[in-house]
Every structure is written in structure tokens, then in C-alpha cells.
Amino acid sequence: MVELVNITKLYHKKPVVNNVSLFVPKGQTLVLLGKSGSGKTTLLKMINRLIEPDEGNILIDGENIANRSVEELRRNIGYVIQAIGLFPHWTVAQNIATVPALIDWPKDKISSRVSELLEHMGLPQQFASRYPHELSGGQQQRIGVARALAANPSLLLMDEPFGALDPIIRKEIQSDFQHLSIFKEMTKIVVTHDVKEAFYLGDEVALIDEGKIIEKATPRNFLFNSTSNLVKGFIGEDAWSLKLSQVALSEVISFLAFAKDSAEEVLICHIDEKPFSRIFSMVNSDQQQVKIIDDSGLVGHAFVGDLKASFLKFESQLVAD
């Protein structure tokens, strides 16, 4: 777990991080969201002591990081940045092995870990002998993440990690981040300016503006329950599409009238899916049906128009609560 207590950082006597307190439970992902210059990267860099706070304390697993040597601290924290920073004259295997080699892991253990991480990152084993210039941007980013994970850190810090990638590769790596087992028990703090990325990756999101935490909440509470004009202004025109991405079919079932007779099916959806972005894009399909299934089989059929209505009723209830 990570705890920040009343953290302040001054530049030229002006606070760029202003009395920030945060708590991130073990295994959770906190996304620091904000515009350029909001203080989010400065805050992240104080966690691995690339920058020292002027006031306050930072604790990792209950221990004040000021009481640990910088070298020991950083060897137990994975760090991924947008620029990646692979060593160009080292092979992929050597890049991944940077920290294990520094802490004197045996060669066979390092080799096994490199092989394991290439598999986790979905890359062929023969990539171990390649050099960074022989890789695509997405492949380089995966190697950068593998390097950060090599020594089994309990904490992973990521600063705009996917910002330089093209949209398709970016979505693939974001999905890996969400679903790969290697990330599950690790505490993760991610910096981004991208609202959609923040709400996709984060268990919680903290919106930062002028060095202060404006609001910290789950993505759903941000979208459906925030009363902050700053939050609403930052999310802006993305609010509706983000709301659609947050809700599973199972959550609207109590508002849904199932069709008595089957008609033309345009979608088959599992009850645990979140298909409303697709459903609301079907502007001329209200009289067509969606087949809803669960792990045991058919749940029922529903008209697209009725599914849209059920979502709107569910949204109204969330806002009212």
C-alpha cells in the first residue's frame, strides 16, 4: 500500500503540489489525472524520490520512504515513462535484466525471468537477442514495462506510459495492463492527461488541478455522482460515452422488459458485458433484438429500444442516489 500525508512541493516559493494526501490499497490502481502542469508528475516522482517533498511524509507498506536509501527504494519500485528509455546498445534480454543484474540475481534466474516476461508481454522468445531499434514502438513499450517488472516490485509507477503509441497499439497494451495476471497483486499509480485512459485503467481516479486533489473517486462515482464543476468541465463531451462504458447488462435487468417473441438479432451479449456504447450507436435498430446470455445459456431477448430505456432509468437512479 502507498500513503501520502500532507505532501507539498514548492518551486520558487509557489506550491506545485499543495498539501496532498492519498491512500492506495495494496493491489489497486490509482490514476492521477490532470492537465499539463497540474502537479501529477511531480507527485509521482516524489514517491520514488526523484524529487523530494518540502513537507509531508510518504509511506510504502507503512514505512516512511525517507528512512530508506534511494537505491534500495528504487530497486523495489517499477518505473515506466513515455520515453521508454531502453539502452540502445543492449539486447532486449539485457534491458529487461537491468535491475536483477544490479542486485546480483544468478544468471539462470535472470534468464528464466526474461523468458517469463517475454511470454507475459506476448512477445516471441527470439526477441531476447534483438536490439531496441529492431522493435516497433509498441514492442519497445512492452519491453519497457517488462524491465520495470523484472525484479518483482510490489509497486509500479507509470508516467504517461502509453501516450506515444498509435491508438490501436495503445488499446492493446491498456487491455494487457487490465487483464494480465502479472499485474493483479501489484499496487499501481498511473499518471495521464487522457480521461478515457484514466477511467479504463483506474480502480480510483484522482483529479489534480494546480497541485491540489479536486476529487478522488471510482470512475463510476466521478461520472454519475460528482457535483464538482471542475470535474464536469474536465470530463466534458466524453461524459456520455464514458457512462455507457461503465455499466453491465446485469445492472439494468431490473429495469428491462424482455421481449415475448424473438425477432431479428443484431447482437449476442453476455449478461456481464458492458455493451451500451454499441447499443446506443444503433440509431435505426430499436425494433431489432439483442440476445442476452449468461454462463448457463439464454437469459432472454430484448429490443434495442428497451435496452436504451433501461440504461436511462438506471442512470437516473444512480444520479438520484
- Is 242 inside any structural domain? no
Residue 241 lies in a domain: no
In the chain, which ranges are continuous DSSP H helix? 40-47, 70-75, 92-96, 98-102, 107-120, 137-149, 167-179, 195-201, 219-225, 229-235, 239-246, 249-252, 276-281, 304-320
Tell me the C-alpha to C-alpha distance, in Å, between residue 53 and each of 49, 66, 237.
8, 10, 35
Whether residue 274 is contained in a domain is answered as yes
| Same-domain check for residues 225 and 270 | no
Residue at a domain's end among 207, 236, 265? 236
Amino acid at position 243, single letter: K
Other C-beta atoms lying within 10 Å of the C-beta of residue 288? 15
Taking the C-alpha atoms of residue 193 and residue 290, their distance in angstroms, rounded to an integer, is 36
- Could you list the residue range(s) of the whole structural domain that residue 302 is in? 247-320
CB atoms within 10 A of CB 46: 22
Same domain, 216 and 263: no
Domain CATH code at residue 279: 3.90.1280
| C-alpha cell belonging to residue 291 | 440476445
- The sheet carrying 63-64 orders its strands as 14-24, 2-11, 55-60, 63-64
Which pLDDT does position 321 carry in this prediction? 67
Give yes or no: residues 152 and 179 share one domain: yes
Please check whether residues 72 and 170 belong to one and the same domain. Answer: yes
Q: Do 311 and 223 belong to one domain?
A: no
Give me the CATH number covering residue 118.
3.40.50.300
| 251 and 299 share one domain | yes
Number of domains within the chain: 2
Residue 211, φ and ψ in degrees, nearest 5: 80, 5
Structural domain includes residue 223:
yes
Backbone Cα Rg of the chain: 23
Instruction: Report pLDDT for 190.
Output: 94
Whether 257 and 112 map to the same domain: the answer is: no
In this structure, the answer to whether residues 57 and 135 fall within a common structural domain is yes
Are 145 and 267 found together in one domain? no
Per-residue pLDDT in tens (0 to 9) along the chain, 321 residues = 999 999 999 999 999 999 999 999 999 999 999 999 999 999 999 999 999 999 999 999 999 999 999 988 998 899 988 777 899 999 999 999 999 998 999 999 999 999 999 988 888 999 999 999 999 888 888 898 889 889 989 899 999 887 766 777 777 777 877 777 677 788 999 999 989 889 989 999 999 999 999 999 999 999 998 888 989 888 888 889 999 999 999 999 999 989 887 777 788 999 999 999 988 888 678 888 999 999 999 999 999 999 999 999 999 888 766
Closest to 17 (Cα-Cα) out of 48, 45, 38, 47: 38
- 107 & 133 share domain: yes
Nine-digit cell string for 130? 534483438
* Global pTM value: 0.86
Residue after which a domain boundary falls, among 236, 262, 283? 236
Of 204, 236, 268, the last residue of a domain is: 236
Is 116 a member of any domain? yes
